[in-house]
Amino acid sequence: MIKERLARLREAMKEAGIDCYIIPTSDYHNSEYVSDFFCVRRYFSGFTGSAGTLVVHADKAALFTDGRYFIQAAKQLEGSGITLMKMGEPSVPELTEYVERELPEGCNIGFDGRVITAGDGLDYEKTAAKKGGKVIWNLDLAEGIWEERPKLSFTPVYVLEERYCGESTARKLERVREKMKEEEAEVHILTTLDDIAWLFNLRADDVKSCPVFLSYAAVTRGEAYLFAGESAFGSEVREYLDRNQITLRPYDDFYNFAAGLKNRKEKTGLLICEKRINYRLKKEIGDEVRIIDKANPTTLMKAVKNPAEQENLRKAHLMDAVAVTKFMYWLKKNVGKMPMTEISAARYLEELRAKSPSFIEPSFSTICAYGPNGAIIHYGATEENFSEIHAKGMLMVDSGGHYYEGSTDITRTFILGEITEEMRQHFTLVARAMLRLKSVRFLKGCKGVNLDFAAREVFWEKGMDYKHGTGHGVGYLLNVHEGPNSFRFKPAAGSDENWEFEPGMVTTDEPGIYIEGSHGVRIENELLCCESVKNEFGQFMEFEDLTYVPIDLDGIDASSMDEREKRVLNQYHEFVFEKLFPFFEGEELAWLRNATRRI
C-alpha cells in the first residue's frame, strides 16, 4: 500500500520537476500537535510516531526519526522500501546533510512551503542553489493522491469569558500595539495558534488536547484581522469580533494579505517572529518589507498569568488534585484486588476529572506506565499494546486536564506493593530533586538555565541524569507545553532565551529516572512564580505550589534526605492536607491524613 502511494507521489514529483520531496511532521502553524489533515508523512510512510521527516527520491526514500521511535519505526516501515535513518546515531547523517549529499547536480528540492519553517526552507534553497537547482515550494503533492484525506478541521470557536481569562482582548490589543510602537512596526503578523487564541480570547477544539483553532492574524495600528474558517464562527462570536473591531477573513486569504504588505507603503515595518513562521509566508512577504524579527509580544504576555488567571488556576488545580488524589486512594486500595490495566486506570482517572463541571478534556494523552513501561519517557499505552497493573512495583501517571479555569499537568509515581531498595532510592532521589527546585529563592533576573541545577545537583552528585528538561511552561487553557519559560541547563534548540522569571509564570518541576527494562520514576509539580522579599540586594522571587497531591511516602527513604528536604516535604504535605481535606471523609479522609503524615 505504501509502495503504491509512493509510486503515485513519484509520478507527481516527476510532473512537477521535483527530484527530492520532503515531508515533515507539521501543520501550517509550526504546532507541536497537528490534526489529521496534516498527517501526510504518516500517509506516505505508514509510520505513526509524533516526529519524523520523510525524504522521497525517484529511486529511494528515507525516514528520519529520533531515539524514541527506532523500534516502532523499524516495524512500521517493514516492506515499504523506506530506509530508517536513526537520528543521532554516529553513522547517520543529519537530515540537511543527507538532502545535500543525495541531490544530483541540477536537481530540484520540493516541499509544501506551509509546513516547512522559514529557516529550514532557506537552508534547502541554499542546498538546491549549490547543486544548480531550485526549491519548488508551492505544491502539496498529497492533494490528488490522498483521496480519503480528512478535511481541515474548523470546530466551533467560542469566547473565553473575561472572568476566566482576566483581560479583555481590547486591552491585549492595546498592549500589543504599544509593543509595535516601541519596535517601530506598522504591522504585526501572528501565525502560532496559541498566540492567536490568547490574544483574541477565543478557543475551539481543532487539535486534540489543544483548544485552539486554525488561523492567522494581523494587527495594525488601527485594525485587527483574523484569518480563520468562517464556518466555525457563530453569530455571537461574530458580534464579539465586531465589538472589538476585529475583521474576520477567510483562512485562505491570509497569504494574499501577506503578499500585499509590500504595497502598503514604502518599507512597512513588520513585526514577526521569523523562527516560528513558515517558508511560504517568508516568500510572500518578500524583501521590500522592513522585517523586525522579534518574539511575538503575546508569547511573553501569555506566559505571565494575570491575577484572575492565577486565582482560577488555583481552583483548577484544586479540582484536579481532588481527582488525582482520589485516583491514588482507589489505586492503592484496589490494586491486586480487581483487574486493572494501564488503559482502564487512565480511563478511571479521566472519569474522576470529568466530575468537575468545568472540565473540558485531558490536556494531553495520559501517560499511564506500569513497571518497565515507566522507563519509556513518551510511553503511550494503546488498545493493542498495554500492560496489566499488579500489586507490586510502581505505576507512573503523567496526566492533566483543561478546565475553563486553566490547564494542569501533574506526574505522580505510585508504589503498588513490594519495590526493590534501588527503586526506593530512585524514588527518593527524584522526590529530593523536585522538592529542592520548588523551594528555591532567587533574585529577579534568573532564568531557567540558572535554576535547573537546583534539581539536577543531587543527580549529578551520583553520576546520574535525566535526558529531558526539568520543566516547561504551561498555557492557560492552551498548549500544555508553552514557552518561553522552562527549567533546562542547556536552552532547547531554537528557544528564545530572552526572558527571565516573572511573577505569574507557571512552570513544571519534573525530574525523573528511567531504568530500561525495570522501572521509571517521575514526580511533577507545577510552580507559580511569585515575589518574595525585596531588600537592598534586590527583588527576590520564589515559587508557589499549584499542585496539591501527596507524594507517595511508601517510596520515600527518609534517611536518604537531608533536614531541609524533609522540612520541605513535610510542609508540602501539610499544605496538601489543608487544601484537600474538605473533599474527603471517612476512610478516605483517614487515608489522606496518613498519606500526608510528617516523616
Please say whether the beta carbons of 423 and 549 come within 8 A.
Answer: no
Residue closer to its own copies, measured from CB, 291 or 440: 440
| Buried b / exposed e along 541-550 (16+ C-beta atoms within 10 A) | bbbebbbbbb
Q: What's the min distance (Å) between Cβ of 538 and its own copies?
A: 7
Q: What's the min distance (Å) between Cβ of 540 and its own copies?
A: 6
**Can you tell me whether residue 388 is helix, strand or coil?**
strand
Give dist(CA 571, CA 592) in Å, integer: 15
Contact between 450 and its own copies per CB under 8 A = yes
Residue closer to its own copies, measured from CB, 70 or 540: 540
Give dist(CA 218, CA 248) in Å, integer: 11
Residue closer to its own copies, measured from CB, 18 or 541: 541
Residue closer to its own copies, measured from CB, 358 or 450: 450
Please say whether the beta carbons of 215 and 241 come within 8 A.
Answer: no
Q: What's the min distance (Å) between Cβ of 441 and its own copies?
A: 5
Which of 453, 575, 583, 591 forms a contact with its own copies (CB under 8 A)? 453
Taking residue 420's Cβ as centre, other Cβ atoms within 10 Å add up to: 11
Contact between 430 and its own copies per CB under 8 A = no
Which secondary-structure segment (H or E) carries 89? none
Which of 445, 581, 585, 593 forms a contact with its own copies (CB under 8 A)? 445
Give dist(CA 65, CA 588) in Å, integer: 46
Give dist(CA 273, CA 190) in Å, integer: 8
Q: What's the min distance (Å) between Cβ of 66 and its own copies?
A: 17
Contact between 441 and its own copies per CB under 8 A = yes
Spacing of C-alpha 533 from chain mean position? 33
Which of 37, 70, 98, 489 forms a contact with its own copies (CB under 8 A)? 489
Span interacting with its own copies, options 94-102, 133-141, 161-169, 440-448, rule CB under 8 A: 440-448
Q: What's the min distance (Å) between Cβ of 456 and its own copies?
A: 8
**HSE (side-chain half, CA atoms, 13 Å) at 320:** 32
Contact between 449 and its own copies per CB under 8 A = yes
Q: What's the min distance (Å) between Cβ of 562 and its own copies?
A: 6
Residue closer to its own copies, measured from CB, 354 or 443: 443
Contact between 537 and its own copies per CB under 8 A = yes
Contact between 457 and its own copies per CB under 8 A = yes
Spacing of C-alpha 249 from chain mean position? 28
Which of 382, 535, 559, 586 forms a contact with its own copies (CB under 8 A)? 535
Task: Give the strand pairing for 61-65 and 53-57.
Answer: antiparallel
Contact between 443 and its own copies per CB under 8 A = yes
Residue closer to its own copies, measured from CB, 442 or 591: 442
Q: Which residues inside 66-125 make contact with its own copies, applying CB under 8 A?
A: none
Span interacting with its own copies, options 22-30, 81-89, 104-112, 439-447, rule CB under 8 A: 439-447
Q: What's the min distance (Å) between Cβ of 371 and its own copies?
A: 20
| Closest listed residue to residue 560, CA positions, set 461, 439, 460, 426 | 426
**Burial classification of residue 233, based on how many CB atoms lie within 10 Å of its CB (0-12 exposed, 13-18 middle, 19 or more buried):** buried
Q: Which residues inside 490-509 make contact with its own copies, applying CB under 8 A?
A: 490
DSSP string covering 201-267: TEE--SBTTB---SEEEEEESS-EEEEE-GGG--HHHHHHHHHTTEEEEEGGGHHHHHHHGGGTSTT
Q: What's the min distance (Å) between Cβ of 450 and its own copies?
A: 5
Residue closer to its own copies, measured from CB, 310 or 507: 507
Sign of the CA dihedral with 536 first, then 441, 322, and 598 last: negative
- For residue 191, report the phi and psi dihedrals to the nearest 5 degrees: -125, -10
Residue closer to its own copies, measured from CB, 460 or 581: 460
Please say whether the beta carbons of 401 and 363 come within 8 A.
Answer: yes
Encoded one letter per residue, x for contact with its own copies by CB under 8 A and - for no contact, window 150-169 reads --------------------
Give dist(CA 456, CA 521) in Å, integer: 15
Encoded one letter per residue, x for contact with its own copies by CB under 8 A and - for no contact, window 551-590 reads -----------xxx--------------------------
Residue closer to its own copies, measured from CB, 188 or 436: 436
**Can you tell me whether residue 384 is helix, strand or coil?**
coil
Contact between 376 and its own copies per CB under 8 A = no
Which of 452, 509, 526, 552 forms a contact with its own copies (CB under 8 A)? 452
Residue closer to its own copies, measured from CB, 305 or 447: 447
Contact between 15 and its own copies per CB under 8 A = no
Instruction: Give CA angle at 136 (132, 139), nearest 5°.
Output: 165
What's the full length of the chain, in residues? 599
Taking residue 212's Cβ as centre, other Cβ atoms within 10 Å add up to: 27
- Residue carrying the nine cell digits 520523510: 54
Span interacting with its own copies, options 115-123, 173-181, 405-413, 448-456, rule CB under 8 A: 448-456
| 333 Ramachandran zone, left/alpha/beta (phi>0; psi -120 to 50) | alpha
- Total of chain residues touching its own copies, rule CB under 8 A: 32
Q: What's the min distance (Å) between Cβ of 91 and its own copies?
A: 19
Which of 440, 557, 566, 588 forms a contact with its own copies (CB under 8 A)? 440
Span between the terminal Cα atoms of the chain, in Å: 60
Beta bridge partners of 407: 402
Q: What's the min distance (Å) between Cβ of 500 and its own copies?
A: 9
Contact between 461 and its own copies per CB under 8 A = yes
Span interacting with its own copies, options 155-163, 214-222, 444-452, 587-595, rule CB under 8 A: 444-452
Taking residue 500's Cβ as centre, other Cβ atoms within 10 Å add up to: 17
Where does this chain bind its own copies (CB under 8 A)? Answer: 440-443, 445-447, 449-454, 456-457, 460-461, 463-465, 467, 489-490, 532-533, 535, 537-538, 540, 562-564
